[in-house]
Amino acid sequence: MIIDYKIHQVSEYINWIYFFHAWSFAPKFATVADIHDCVACQTGWLDSFPPEDREKAIQASKLYKDAKELLKALDKKYHTHAICELFDANSQGDDIIIGDTLFPLLRQQSKGKEVFICLSDYIRPLSHNIKDKIGVFASTVEKEMEHLFDNDDYMRMLSQTICDRLAEATAEKVHEYVRKELWGYAKDENLSPKDLFMERYQGIRPAVGYPSLPDQSINFVINDLINLSSIGITLTENGMMIPHASVSGLMFAHPKAQYFSIGEIDEIQLADYAKRRGISIEQAKKYLAANI
Distance of CA 208 to the CA centre of its chain: 8
Residues 94-137: tens digit of each pLDDT: 999 999 999 999 999 987 777 899 999 999 999 999 999 999 99
For 187-193, which contacts have Cβ atoms below 8 Å and span 24 or more sequence positions? 193/12, 193/13
Digits of tens for pLDDT over the chain (292 positions)?
Answer: 999 999 999 999 999 999 999 999 999 999 999 988 888 888 899 989 999 999 999 999 999 999 999 999 999 999 999 999 999 999 999 999 999 999 999 999 987 777 899 999 999 999 999 999 999 999 999 999 999 998 999 999 999 999 999 999 999 999 999 999 999 999 999 999 999 999 999 999 999 999 999 999 999 999 999 999 999 999 999 999 999 999 999 999 999 999 999 999 999 999 999 999 999 999 999 999 999 9
Beta carbons within 8 Å of 50's beta carbon, 6+ residues apart: none
Q: Walk me through the domains of the chain, giving residue ranges and CATH numbers.
A: 7-75 (no CATH), 83-291 (3.10.196.10)
Name 125's bridge partners. 91
Name 4's bridge partners. 81
